[in-house]
Amino acid sequence: MSDELPQSDIVAVTVEHRIAWVSFNRPDKRNAMSPALNRRMMEVLDELEFSAEVGVVVLTGAGSAWTAGMDLKDYFREAEARGLAGVRMAQRESYGWWRRLRWYQKPTIAMVNGWCFGGGYGPLFGCDLAFAAEEAKFGLSEINWGILPGGGATKVAVELMSLRDAMYHAMTGEPIDGKKAAEWKLVNEAVPLEKLRDRVAEVAHILLKKNPVALKATKDAIRRVCEMTYDNAEDYLVRAQEAANSYDNEGRKEGIRQFIDDKSFKPGLGSYDLSRQKAP
């Protein structure tokens, strides 16, 4: 393993008030994703997914970058030196944890504090929400060194951006800042770097007040129905609600009770009080 740090230190994790702050931790490499980092990220996701101490996961980067994408030496050159088997293994290790993020049990937020390039678009898309520093830099620079934006990056661009913006972004290789990334819908919003952590924490605390079963069902539904016809989506959502109720019908009943009987909350203005819900 060519990483300078032990594998356990390649990803730093801090849990505060049920928010897990997970940081790519190769600041000297602008947090480029190596095979070792990818393996450690899968382990971290395993450790946090069903932890009672964690309600929201925030993915960020140490130093001045979120992630500069795939480590060209470790991920490409060294993997390719092992032949097709090495290439496929490196792909499985990276694509695997990005896929885990897309269907993760708990809400996830990308906090893009700096550089986000190429392969970084995989975990960016995998997170449910994304906030960026206005000073951050986003780019699909693959065209500049002779390849297309692979690893799902092209799909991310066309999924989140307009066709014209995606074409310009991928064909020119020009970086954009956080403000433009928000305008092009790569992220939810951009704020000055010094306010980024506070804004992400604010959103995380909003999510912590929601019913966790309903949150998981909602995030899955949003991703699923994107590719469905209206009729198929309507049918899927009926079944999804029934499935969610089978896990947490008491939560649904308590929310309705607080609204109709207690008149203690209004669904359009906030969440019901989870602390008053009976244990399933």
The pLDDT of residue 2: 39
> What CA dihedral angle connects 80, 84, 85 and 89, to 10 degrees?
60
57 neighbors 92 (Cβ within 8 angstroms)? no
The pLDDT of residue 13: 97
C-alpha angle 98/69/83, rounded to 5°?
80
Q: What are 67's strand-pairing partners?
A: 116
The pLDDT of residue 264: 63
The pLDDT of residue 86: 63
Tokens of 265: 């909350």
Beta strands in 1-107 (DSSP E): 11-16, 19-24, 56-61, 65-67
Tally the C-alpha atoms within 13 A of residue 85's C-alpha that lie toward its C-beta. Answer: 1
Listed residue (280, 219, 273, 216) closest to 248, CA to CA? 280
Q: Which residues of the chain have pLDDT under 70?
A: 1-8, 74-79, 81, 86, 90, 247-280
